[in-house]
Amino acid sequence: MLNQSKFIISYIFFYFLIVLQTSFAGNQNDFIDYKLNVFLSSKNNITIKSIQDDKIIKGTLLGKIEGDSDSDFNNARLECDLLGRAYQGRSFSCGFAEVEDVNGYCEIIFPDKENIILVEWKCSTTAGMLGDAVCKGKVNILKGFGEYAGVVGFGNLEMPLIKSIKKKNISIPIKLKISLKKPLQIKSQLNSSEMQ
């Protein structure tokens, strides 16, 4: 009798474990991945204030998503307010003399101007794919408006250093890789979990 009870408890435990893993895997697959290239405007407004060896960076970045295979984002505008710090130091083995830690908030404004996604981001100086210095970091989707109301998501960002943007010496676009779960997907997922 005791062995049968242990077997039943073990069976129930493993059953719930499998159900949890399956539902978690399903939740991960509902996110849609987007790879976006943002080409910066020449009208960016950036100020850099020196405090001894450190610099305080603040400003606005403007850009446009172009040549994107995802038609939802094609020709969307990007408006970012940023704040950061540049300082002398080595953040990693490549040994860059100046490190930038920057963060900000961006609006992705779709061509109809009613659909908007608000994101926050943070990045730090690191080596890019070609060994050049870039600012790499994380993106968090905060809120959506219009068709994107209720959207959730996350992602990564790689952008030129602020000093390159300030000098208008921009050779690479901002690269955004974001994963989004749209409101209809969230609603259908909630409805299916309520039915179970």
Please name the helix (run of DSSP H) or strand (run of DSSP E) that holds residue 123, with its range, or none: strand 116-127
**179 - beta bridge partners?**
33, 154
Q: Cα(41)–Cα(145) distance, rounded to whole angstroms? A: 24
Residue 148 DSSP class: G
pLDDT at site 169: 65
- Residue 182 tokens read as 């749209």
Q: What is the mean pLDDT for each group of 10 consecutive residues in the chain (196 residues)?
A: 58 49 51 91 89 93 78 89 88 65 96 94 83 89 93 94 82 88 60 50
What are the tens digits of pLDDT across the range 129-146? Answer: 666 788 999 999 999 999
Q: Give me the phi and psi of 7, to 5 degrees please.
A: -65, -45
What are the tens digits of pLDDT across the range 24-47? Answer: 444 456 889 999 999 998 888 999
pLDDT at site 129: 60
Please state the pTM of the whole predicted model.
0.73
Contact status, residue 63 vs residue 77, Cβ threshold 8 Å: yes
Q: Cα(124)–Cα(34) distance, rounded to whole angstroms? A: 22
**Contacts for 183 with CB less than 8 Å, ≥ 6 apart:** 144, 147, 148, 149, 150, 151
pLDDT at site 132: 76
pLDDT at site 10: 55
